[in-house]
Amino acid sequence: MNLEDRVIIITGASSGIGEATAKKLSKHGASVVLMARSKDKLEKLRDTITNNGGKAIAVSGDVTKSDDFKNAVSDTVKAYGKVDGLINNAGLMPLSFVEKLKTDEWDKMVDVNIKGVLNGVSAVLPELINNEGGDIINISSMAAHAYFPGGAVYCATKSAVKMFSEGLRQELAPKYGINVTSIEPGAVATNLTSTITDEDIKEKISGMQEMKTLESEDIANAIYYALTQPKHVNINDVFIVPSEQK
């Protein structure tokens, strides 16, 4: 199936999973709205997509600011006349042991990983209800299923995203035809670990570099799969991990 006439907002679109997803969906006909803080990277990606025959606009914004999300939705409606879906991809993972009390990093994870998702849903939901259908895809993590060293706060935020997604599905899918999916990847080759400042954690995760991790394109493929199901089919969860990961 292609995604012709579908208009989808993607957060964290300037790199990694967001960038790969934007390329994948635009290749299959979707009009993608690229949202992130890095305006230069967004515009470069937009130009790449449009030069390859796709449709894209760049909207710089911070997911922790509800007004930025509202502006992104407004710009989307101005450009394409509607919104059909949202991919809440933006996230942070500054792992640390709790005893280090890196509370500033805890706050950032809560703001981006949880509040950012809430801001996106609150901004987009009125449009999807008006459309009588659409898709919300939230990027959770395998961390929603099990704790790993230094991940107490991160795992908690991703558990919140997984449960919020299920609550959304039960409330929105039967009543409004809005399908909701939680994507839960294992280790992915992105820059997510670049925010880690706890040296003890860096040492512990160094072994993961020897493992063949998932690529951003693998997650983009999972998102595409969820979006291209018949409307009466809701893919609740996609739990996808590297073959070597335990």
**pLDDT (tens digit, 9 = 90+) per residue, 169-212?**
999 999 999 999 999 999 888 665 667 777 767 666 665 567 78
Please name the CATH architecture into which domain 7-240 falls: 3-Layer(aba) Sandwich (3.40)
Give the number of C-alpha atoms closer than 13 A to the C-alpha of residue 228, restricted to the C-beta side: 15
Is 154 among the catalytic positions? yes
Measured between alpha carbons, how far is residue 169 from residues 105, 158, 227 in Å?
A: 30, 17, 14
What pTM did the predictor assign? 0.93
Cβ atoms of 14 and 41 within 8 Å: the answer is yes
Q: Enumerate the H helices of 177-237 as residue ranges.
A: 199-205, 216-227
pLDDT reported for residue 131: 93
* Mean pLDDT to the nearest integer, 4-31: 96
Write out the two tokens for 220: 């983009």
Give the whole-number percent of the chain exceeding pLDDT 70.
93
Give φ, ψ of 128 to 5 degrees.
-70, -40
Amino acid present at 169? R
* Res 188: pLDDT: 87
Token readout for 208 is 């993961």
**Alpha carbon separation from 196 to 126, 150, 200 (Å, rounded):** 36, 10, 10
Amino acid 160: pLDDT: 98
Helix axis angle for 39-51 and 16-27, nearest 10°, is: 20
- Report pLDDT digits (tens) over 39-84: 999 999 999 999 999 999 999 999 999 999 999 999 999 999 999 9
Q: What is the dihedral of CA 202, 211, 193, 161, to 10 degrees?
A: -120
Residue with tokens 């509370």: 103
> 56: closest CA among 74, 69, 43?
43
CB 178 within 8 A of CB 170: no
List the catalytic residue out of 80, 147, 154, 224: 154
Selected residue with higher pLDDT from 15 and 193: 15
Rounded Cα distance between 189 and 213, Å, is 6
150 within 8 A of 101, measured Cβ to Cβ = no
The predicted-structure confidence for 76-115, as pLDDT tens digits, reads as follows: 999 999 999 999 999 999 999 999 999 999 999 999 999 9
